[in-house]
Structure 1
């Protein structure tokens, strides 16, 4: 019966806000952990940069080494060429025989082949340098720097202090330890209660009509606010296990630091010894080359005057060649040891900064 009907309409709306006032320091701990992750990532990138700098430096000096070797081989080849031309003139004047000419020719061609092979080695060294610097393989450079090595001696105690303070790999391990400590604190924060505050407002609109009577409308606006404290009483040991795992990882990180310090210290001592010995070897190589060069000059005059034969002269040429190549290798070895000492003490990024 429509005359006894009741019509009702209700509309409800609300808005609420909730703030977490305390959650066991999770926000601060998470922020700290993310910052440490960023620092660790940056540190690993720094290690890659250091390795790249070391590779480029050694590749550059390797080019200089091969160019100097080329110059030495060119000198020996020119000496062999002069000897070959000398034997040809002597033969044309009746002062030499075919055997001596052929011997001189064979030695000259052997030295020429060595020179040509060394030219290829130089080109390959330049291409390798271009590869490390992400340059086109066909790009050419002018290497006019003097191929030499710094013979400055280091103090082992200073190197060790620099390594402990600036070695990037070791710094990354310390950052990793801080990261594990933050993870432990984050897991322990699960034992704290959570305190939150809520506030809001509800709006209600009621409309009704009974048995055809006039409409009855009511509006209600209700604000509210509350505080909520929650505590996880039992979690079946999940929190305890998470804390134990984090503590184990923290101990592992500390052990890794101790192992790395021990390994780096041992490597530093080895590199320091290599550097000291290579300085002494370079001085020996300088003296050896000076003696070999003087001997070669004297022997050339003796050969042309007939005091020594071609075999003796060739032996002296080889002595000069070996002495010159040994000196060049000594320079490169000294550059290599200095570069490694710079890397292990964090000198590359320190110099760039």
Structure 2
């Protein structure tokens, strides 16, 4: 299966920064698809199902056994007889007919392989989604770190100015202490955010199977292309491509195969047995010369077996298989209903988050301009340090809200892509 990462084209806009240690989203996904631990386990499960899907597992071929029996006997009577028998044999057992169970079992194994591959596709989707969110969580924490660093620089500059003003007699001790407290608070926030960033990088490395201490100097730009989605179009794509829904259809097919297998118990079985026996006998009788005899024989038998009564187990197994098939159909209805509900909620959330991003973007532009104006006013003594600090905090909160708004949109857009099956395509 060749995977084409559509989300790289439709979800995220890229920033072309060239560096040996730059990690792009495309690189992260490629590395993760190769190294992710859960995905590697899932691939092994697919390999197991492929190996199980064989005519041998279904029971089409005969079994051939080599058997060696050694029978030794000592008779303690007047004659005192010692008998040694060595009997090697080759035995063949072949089920020629069992109500077409072999063919139904082979079909079941094929469907189970398809289901295993379908579950693997779900794991691939979930892995890609997790990598996208983890990758942009790193970028989010990095952007937040830059905001806290910017605010710390401003706070330190404010504190230095207040100290200089105190030395010149233009500032009182209370204002200096307040400025110092604000700077130390911003410094503490910066260090805490640095830890958040480092932890997010470690989480990404774990997800893509890289070394825990591996660092990256550049990432892609933190922005998203806003799109207009049509509910009907998304619903149609979801009905065709959603992997969970496809897997449930496979579960329904598997339950139908199990009905056929259970029904096979009604029919007779025809079994062919054949073999070759060679017998070597050594008999030692006291007072008589040792006797050695050899013999061999071939045999071939047909057995026709029809169950008359087994406590209604065959009928019960057939009824249970039919009930399981009905359950699988109910689950299909449930999944369809659940998917429609999730799609409506996600699309509504996406549209609201677009509006929130527009509001947050305008708010950042306004607060940044206000911060620049307030900085000049503070330097010129037009406003005091407390007013300037309030403006800084407003800018900080506005910047963080915008960053969170971008990440929330990426998260919702990625989930929409996964839900509609467009996060990957098979070619």
1:185 match: 260
Q: 2:225 aligns with which of 137, 150, 155?
A: 150
User: Which deviates more from structure 2 when the two are superposed, residues 131-140 or residues 318-327?
Assistant: 131-140
Identify if the C-alpha distance between structure 1 residues 89 and 200 changes in structure 2 by more than 3 Å, giving closer, same or farther: closer
Q: 1:122 aligns with which of 197, 202, 205?
A: 197
Determine the C-alpha separation between the residues in 1 that align with 2:153 and 2:159.
10
TM-score by length of 1: 0.82
Shift of 1:60: 0.8
Shift of 1:198: 9.0
Q: How does 1:60-75 map to 2 (within 5 A)?
A: 60-75=135-150
Give the secondary structure class of the aligned counterpart of 1:285: helix
Q: How does 1:1-353 map to 2 (within 5 A)?
A: 22-194=97-269, 231-350=306-425, 353=427
TM-score by length of 2: 0.69
Shift of 1:280: 1.1
Determine the C-alpha separation between the residues in 2 that align with 1:339 and 1:259.
23
Q: Per-residue displacement from partner, 1:146-167 (whole Å, max 9, x unpaired)?
A: 1112211221112112222222
Q: Per-residue displacement from partner, 1:239-286 (whole Å, max 9, x unpaired)?
A: 211110110111111111111211122111111111111111111110
Give the secondary structure class of the aligned counterpart of 2:424: helix
Determine the C-alpha separation between the residues in 2 that align with 1:165 and 1:337.
20
Shift of 1:197: 8.0
User: Which deviates more from structure 2 when the two are superposed, residues 16-25 or residues 252-261?
Assistant: 16-25
Residue ranges of structure 1 left out of the alignment (5+ in a row): 1-13, 202-222
Aligned 8 A contact 1:195 1:230 in 2: yes
Identify if the C-alpha distance between structure 1 residues 236 and 287 changes in structure 2 by more than 3 Å, giving closer, same or farther: same
Aligned 8 A contact 1:64 1:143 in 2: no
Q: Per-residue displacement from partner, 1:284-328 (whole Å, max 9, x unpaired)?
A: 110010010111111112222333222111111111010000000
Give the secondary structure class of the aligned counterpart of 1:350: strand
Shift of 1:101: 2.1
Aligned 8 A contact 1:160 1:345 in 2: yes
Shift of 1:44: 2.0
Aligned 8 A contact 1:150 1:335 in 2: no
Residue ranges of structure 2 left out of the alignment (5+ in a row): 1-88, 277-297
1:10 match: none
User: Which deviates more from structure 2 when the two are superposed, residues 122-131 or residues 306-315?
Assistant: 306-315
User: Which deviates more from structure 2 when the two are superposed, residues 264-273 or residues 324-333?
Assistant: 264-273
* RMSD of aligned alpha carbons: 2.7
Shift of 1:94: 2.9
Determine the C-alpha separation between the residues in 1 that align with 2:339 and 2:93.
52
1:208 match: none
User: Which deviates more from structure 2 when the two are superposed, residues 313-322 or residues 141-150?
Assistant: 141-150
Structure (1/2) with the larger helix percentage: 1
Determine the C-alpha separation between the residues in 1 that align with 2:165 and 2:92.
109
Determine the C-alpha separation between the residues in 2 that align with 1:167 and 1:161.
10
- The total of aligned residue pairs comes to 320
2:71 match: none
Determine the C-alpha separation between the residues in 2 that align with 1:246 and 1:138.
52
Aligned 8 A contact 2:158 2:385 in 1: no
Shift of 1:76: 0.8
